[in-house]
Structure 1
């Protein structure tokens, strides 16, 4: 009887040892990715054409896989609602537009409160992507909303002014209704223009029907949106490149994933950022040329015009930073860090917002 007992214990131990040494169970994860903008816009196109294939490639050999459901163009969440869709678990991953969530992702919007700093979208988006990983206030903003930032910073090329009328001086804007995204409405203060908050999905019709006399927008989105058809006067003011958000996952869902899948998602986001920025850099001048060939008039203002525009504005960066400081967030510190980094990278701001 004793021999039988010992034999049974040995067999049990062998079985447990076999289980302990076995590889982790392979899983196929169903993942919904959401964006309010349609795939005609570059950041959504690359989510489909770069991010997803890069994640799939990174998962090869891990035993894990993902079945993707792509929900773009407002099919699951409108522009600005991506954060809530991911936070509430309607989607596992979203192209979260921090630009359109200025209350929940306030510190992420530092670039939109510092116009006329740099037209280098690669520098702006790369530094902002890095900041999400290193700055405690940036990290806290994502965590407070139940999100894990993956990367894939959406860099935006130098913003333009596109209007139904020619702009030869700032006085030409007096009384005109100009659409602008989120905090960029603040750029119009001091010009006499009436700033109206809007986004790319509505600009065309609002200009066509006379709701707006023009918009603040960027070339890489203006051509796909056909805005030059209704606002043929393109003025290169030099507002600067911006950071508008990135790829983020539901934090609870992300935390439960195997490490290999987590790593694959981060690797995919990095690949997405690199491909997106390369695509963007190659497109800006090309797109301006195409719009010009189709009847648009492209002009560029001189430095005196930029200085006059910047000098006429309130120091929106300081006001923004002070407000965040009052909320217990390090607005002033984030502002200084951003401006110092861009100056160190070679930027020559028209106005040093943090030093006034």
Structure 2
């Protein structure tokens, strides 16, 4: 019997439907990660991480969901680096001054006194000036993937007593981790390392005499100016940088499209921090001034020179610390010379 054309088409359509039912779409895997950072929940720069993780979830259609882990919520600020390295959390944003003994080059990455002071300069040094390649290799040797950096405002001195001359720093105990501590040590300070959440009580009880560790927004958010109201006008660094790192084994589980989405979201995250920095520093200063904080008088030329000389010694110290630090210091010097800074 010869099948009519109409019957043939009907049979073909029925067969196609049968095949479609027999081969359902393959479900795409959902990845649920945790990301640790140095901040307690609720402070200005800590909030920026919420925007980042929401962006990642939206960009990936919910296939990569990242939970933020704040200081004191299972991973302390001093544990972020090791938590990512061990895989306790899949990714993190450590404050590398707290991890100087684990990765000295991370302190150089954070920012040495006398380094680039503008956000665009730092970003260009990382993306075009050789730092990006060095940092990928350095963190890679630790079993981590360096996917980028965030940038925040520069670091200033905040003290309980006014600094009218650098000689006034002699004998003070300041929260000053990493290179900031090295800089302050050259000026007679006893540097102390402690987590963000410990600072207010330490100032109130006299454990420390001030801080040489944080940007002005952090000083405002921590309300440290309530216990130490004097700001010194020379910055230790014009801007500071912190890495976003991912455990290598976790990274390797992600499909290529999710890796690409994470890298793209990180660029936005970087500039989100920059935007927050620009918008909030002035507000922070005015709020602290309203609360009784004040900048001390402009330093003398003699003190400015001592400040610069102390910074130069820090560069030399870190260049001698390990090969990766030396490469970063040399690349930074070449970059600054190239741009005439």
Bigger drift between 244-253 and 295-304 goes to 295-304
Corresponding residue to 1:48 among 34, 43, 50: 50
Take 2:336 and 2:277, find their aligned partners in 1: how far apart are those partners?
20
Q: Structure 2 stretches of 5 or more lacking a match? A: 1-15
SS of match in other structure, 2:232: strand
Query: 2:5 corresponds to which residue?
Result: none
* 1:225 Cα offset (Å): 0.4
Distance 1:111 1:94, change over 3 A: closer
- Corresponding residue to 1:82 among 80, 83, 90: 80
Post-superposition shift, 1:134?
A: 3.8
| Aligned residue in 2 for 1:188 | 184
Go from structure 1 to structure 2 and tell me whether the alpha carbon gap of 1:300 and 1:283 turns closer, same or farther (over 3 Å shift).
farther
Partner of 1:353: none
Deviation at 1:226, TM superposition (A): 0.3
* Corresponding residue number in structure 1 for 2:248: 251
1:26 paired to 2:22 = no
Counterpart of 2:333 in structure 1 is: 339
Q: TM-score w.r.t. structure 1 length? A: 0.81
Question: RMSD value over aligned CA atoms?
Answer: 2.7
Q: Determine whether 1:161 maps to 2:179.
A: no
Name the counterpart of 1:36.
38
CA-CA distance at 1:300 after TM superposition = 5.3
1:203 and 2:203 aligned: no
Cα distance in 1 for partners of 2:300, 2:154 equals: 15
Q: Quote the Cα distance in structure 1 between the aligned partners of 2:58 and 2:339.
A: 33
Residues matched between the structures, number: 320
Q: Deviations for 1:277-319, whole angstroms, at most 9, x for unmatched residues?
A: 1111121122111101111112353471322222256712112
Q: By how many angstroms is 1:199 displaced?
A: 3.6
Distance across 2 between alignment mates of 1:310 and 1:258: 48
Match of 1:287 in 2: 284
Whole-angstrom distance in 2 between the partners of 1:85 and 1:99: 16
Q: 1:242–1:23: structure 2 CA closer, same or farther, 3 Å change rule?
A: farther
Match of 2:90 among 86, 92, 117: 92
Task: Check the 8 A contact 2:233/2:297 in 1, yes or no.
Answer: yes
* Counterpart in the other structure of 2:104: 106
Paired residue secondary structure (2:271): helix
1:324-344 Cα deviation digits (max 9, x unpaired) = 1xxxx2443321211232344
Q: Higher Cα Rg: structure 1 or 2?
A: 2
> Which residue of structure 1 aligns with residue 258 of structure 2?
261
Q: What's the TM-score, normalizing by structure 2?
A: 0.84
For residue 354 of structure 1, what is the aligned residue in structure 2? none
- SS class of match (2:34): strand
Tell me if the contact between 2:64 and 2:258 (Cα under 8 Å) persists in the aligned partners. Answer: no
What secondary structure does 2:295 align onto? strand
Flag structure 1 segments of 5+ consecutive residues without an equivalent: 1-13, 348-356
Which deviates the most, 214-223 or 332-341? 332-341
Give the structure 1 partner of residue 3 of structure 2: none
Q: Take 1:24 and 1:133, find their aligned partners in 2: how far apart are those partners?
A: 41
> Is the alpha carbon distance of 1:203 and 1:121 closer, same or farther for their aligned partners in structure 2, counting shifts above 3 Å?
farther
Whole-Å separation in 2 of the counterparts to 1:90 and 1:132 = 31
Q: CA deviation at 1:23?
A: 7.3
- Relative distance call for 1:332 and 1:34 in structure 2 (3 A) is closer
Q: For residues 40 and 88 of structure 1, do their structure 2 counterparts lie closer, same or farther at Cα, with a shift above 3 Å needed?
A: same
